[in-house]
Structure 1
Amino acid sequence: MTVVPERPVLVAPDKFKGTFNAAQVAGAIGRGLEKAGLMPPDLCPVADGGDGTLDALLPQLGGELVARTVTGPLGRPVKTGFGLIEGGGTAIVEMAMASGLALVGEDMDAWAATTYGTGELIAAAAQAGAAVILVAVGGSATTDGGAGAIEAIEAAGGIGRAKIVILTDVRTPWEDAPKVFGPQKGADAAMVAKLERRLDELAPTLKRDPRGVPMTGAAGGLSGGLWAQYGAALEPGAPFVLDALDFDDRMRAARAVVTGEGRLDQQTLEGKLVGEIGTRTRQAGVPLHAIVGRDELDGFGKRMIDLQMVQEATNLEELEAAGERLGEALASGEA
């Protein structure tokens, strides 16, 4: 008689924005699966290239955090840092940690907010010897087209031969950044128009013109500024992060995958992380389940990625309980 070894569940959630980071979500779900009697799961907290990317990549890739104090989005000092992986050859800069919306609180100022601190981190990473600098650009407070970051990088002497790779989950072009993202940063209609004029005036001063290029509008044009001035590569964040974490190999070694995010909706299928995971699990024939903050995706959308058991959970206790219910369903063959 051949004994088939038990296989783990791969737990690969994104953050629940504003509440829990991906590692907290994965840990809670994992505890629930084990309470149901399943073997320890393979915990793989993930990110889409925006805020939370450093937390997702650094622990799993065995890197270190280098502390720095930089200029915050409204000029106040911010204690933050950047990650180094691969023996220091690759750096990870998360712009939200230096120029993020969470750092301004109720003092949102779409005009004054600057990416200068992100530029300071990029320059520090280059000075630390990183040959590749990954810049995760979600969660920004800024719409300065990267002007602040470029100023900081030039003040520090440039990036030498380092290569910048932008990770983003949006395809918005440079000129659309103010109208798409400005309102969530405190900009009214008049301010949006003012920001559009500023970006339009900045574009021709750069080494190449970012207008009309997909993904150049991420983080209020930071991605486009770095693309235009330093030849930065623009990469969809979700597939990049999944590949970096060897997701496909881990998925094929699992009996099932459970993912999650704060809200499951139509946008999930439009390049977001859970949609990317769903595409991969469907192609590989691996069952996919989800535990989410809110489930607003219709049945047709779920069928598109063969999403099976979907549960809602809004705190860590509920996440653990949902994990336990999924574990019991898997153990009994009901899922």
Structure 2
Amino acid sequence: MSLSNDASTPSSSDRRVVLVAPDKFRGSLSAPEVVEAATAGARAAGWDVIGLPMADGGEGMLDAFGGANRTSSVTGPTGQPVQARWRLGEDGVAVIESAAASGLVLAGGKEGNDPVGATSAGTGELIAQAALAGARRIIVGLGGSAMSDGGRGAVEATLAGLDGRRPADLGAELLAACDVQTPFVEAAQVFGPQKGATSEQVVELTGRLFALQGEYVERFGVDVSLTSGAGAAGGLGGGLLVLGGELVPGLRLVAEQVGLEEAVGRADAIVTGEGALDAESFNGKVVGGVVDAAEPEGLPVVVVTGVVRDDAPATRLAGLRVVDLSATYGAAASWNDTAACIQRAVTEQLSTL
């Protein structure tokens, strides 16, 4: 993927370059939209820009890899067909978001979901389609899912779509972008309640995961209990292991694909951000990863966020230029006019560097 870059033109050779590498502002702006707003702010301050929309796995992966260019009708989490957007690039890399095929939003949210009956089949159907379309690498973002089926639906759908074969049998590497360490059998306990599961249903689902874990060993010779993160996306992480996949930190996948390290080396400053800065922001998430990449270069970093939560680690914020949009411009403006707030914040910060 080429870098979005206007810093190499002769007319801008004496201008400083800022790398804009944010995550999405959930519910407000996608990562590319954040890049667009920050870019306008940076240019107003006299800076040239390298724009890299980022993601750490799950929702937003497609945007980071260039956006969807295909749509398929697949089995949604409730069993009804849904139109799922995905990507297959000229480089042979396919990008699938489990949320697009098996997402909680598609099931009507926590209130409308059937946490016991929800299925990951649609994600498996997309995997099969990507392999049949000639993908050499299939990346599945795990996040925002409705199910706790241990990936059974995805496993069965993939094998059915590939006539019993796994993606590797067609020459496709299968990678799951994962940012949690949840064990397979704990998927329902950890994530079930946020998917609408009652305490009784959590017990039922956990028993089902224990049984499925044994079944995976018996049928496929894969012990999903040995891999941290197999419980991601309701156990879909484990299902992808059964299909011959590998669980990989989502941020690492994105950073390698978009060339984050190279872009940092070309920048004089960095702007990153996300909707809410909290304790998890520096735990395998975009903001923490971008800050870590900047530290060896000694670059100034501006972190723009809708709000700074009370649990945001003060030790990690030290030395960063953190702009809390809600505190600076008001909560209403931060939520309803996010792009304008980001543009203004970036202009103000870069004008002082």
Same fold (TM over 0.5): yes
Per-residue CA deviation, residues 261-313 of structure 1 (Å, 9 max, x unaligned), is 1110111122222111111111221111111121122432312xx42232325
SS in 1 for 2:113: coil
SS in 2 for 1:261: strand
* Other-structure match for 1:53: 61
Tell which deviates more after alignment, 183-192 or 23-32. 23-32
Correspondence 1:1-335 to 2 at 5 A? 5-34=14-43, 36-59=44-67, 65-87=69-91, 89-105=92-108, 106-156=111-161, 157=163, 158=165, 159=167, 160-161=169-170, 162-206=172-216, 207=220, 208-227=222-241, 229-296=242-309, 297-303=312-318, 306-312=319-325, 314-315=334-335, 317-333=337-353
SS in 2 for 1:289: strand
**Contact (CA 8 Å) 2:305, 2:322: kept in 1 or not?**
no
Could you tell me which amino acid in structure 2 is paired with residue 11 of structure 1?
A: V
**What is the deviation of 1:316?**
6.6
**What is the deviation of 1:32?**
2.2
Could you tell me which amino acid in structure 1 is paired with residue 155 of structure 2?
A: I
* Other-structure match for 2:8: none
**What is the deviation of 1:232?**
0.7
**Alpha-carbon distance in 1 for matches of 2:128, 2:21:** 32
Per-residue CA deviation, residues 192-218 of structure 1 (Å, 9 max, x unaligned), is 111110110001111211125201111
* Other-structure match for 2:330: none
**Alpha-carbon distance in 2 for matches of 1:145, 1:38:** 51
**Contact (CA 8 Å) 1:30, 1:320: kept in 2 or not?**
no
Per-residue CA deviation, residues 58-79 of structure 1 (Å, 9 max, x unaligned), is 25xxxx6222100100011111
SS in 2 for 1:20: coil
Per-residue CA deviation, residues 156-180 of structure 1 (Å, 9 max, x unaligned), is 1233332211111111111111111
TM-score, normalised relative to structure 2: 0.86
**Alpha-carbon distance in 2 for matches of 1:177, 1:278:** 30
**Contact (CA 8 Å) 2:325, 2:341: kept in 1 or not?**
no
**Alpha-carbon distance in 2 for matches of 1:196, 1:135:** 24
**Alpha-carbon distance in 2 for matches of 1:18, 1:37:** 28
Tell which deviates more after alignment, 164-173 or 154-163. 154-163
- Structure 1: runs of 5+ lacking an equivalent: none
**Alpha-carbon distance in 2 for matches of 1:66, 1:329:** 39
Change in 2 beyond 3 A, CA 1:328/1:16: closer
SS in 2 for 1:28: helix
**Alpha-carbon distance in 2 for matches of 1:84, 1:4:** 35
Change in 2 beyond 3 A, CA 1:57/1:295: same
RMSD: 1.9
Could you tell me which amino acid in structure 2 is paired with residue 215 of structure 1?
A: G
SS in 2 for 1:140: coil
**Contact (CA 8 Å) 1:258, 1:291: kept in 2 or not?**
yes
**Alpha-carbon distance in 1 for matches of 2:176, 2:198:** 28
**Alpha-carbon distance in 2 for matches of 1:4, 1:32:** 19
Tell which deviates more after alignment, 6-15 or 233-242. 6-15
Tell which deviates more after alignment, 272-281 or 37-46. 37-46
TM-score, normalised relative to structure 1: 0.90
Tell which deviates more after alignment, 207-216 or 45-54. 207-216
Could you tell me which amino acid in structure 1 is paired with residue 145 of structure 2?
A: S
Could you tell me which amino acid in structure 1 is paired with residue 88 of structure 2?
A: L
**Alpha-carbon distance in 2 for matches of 1:23, 1:199:** 37
**Contact (CA 8 Å) 1:69, 1:79: kept in 2 or not?**
yes
**Contact (CA 8 Å) 1:120, 1:149: kept in 2 or not?**
yes
**Contact (CA 8 Å) 1:119, 1:149: kept in 2 or not?**
yes
**Contact (CA 8 Å) 1:257, 1:288: kept in 2 or not?**
yes
**Alpha-carbon distance in 1 for matches of 2:156, 2:264:** 43
**Contact (CA 8 Å) 2:143, 2:233: kept in 1 or not?**
yes
Per-residue CA deviation, residues 36-63 of structure 1 (Å, 9 max, x unaligned), is 332342221111011110111125xxxx
Tell which deviates more after alignment, 45-54 or 322-331. 322-331
Tell which deviates more after alignment, 143-152 or 98-107. 98-107
**Alpha-carbon distance in 1 for matches of 2:303, 2:71:** 35
**What is the deviation of 1:142?**
1.0
* Other-structure match for 2:5: none
**Alpha-carbon distance in 2 for matches of 1:21, 1:8:** 23
SS in 1 for 2:83: strand
SS in 2 for 1:291: strand
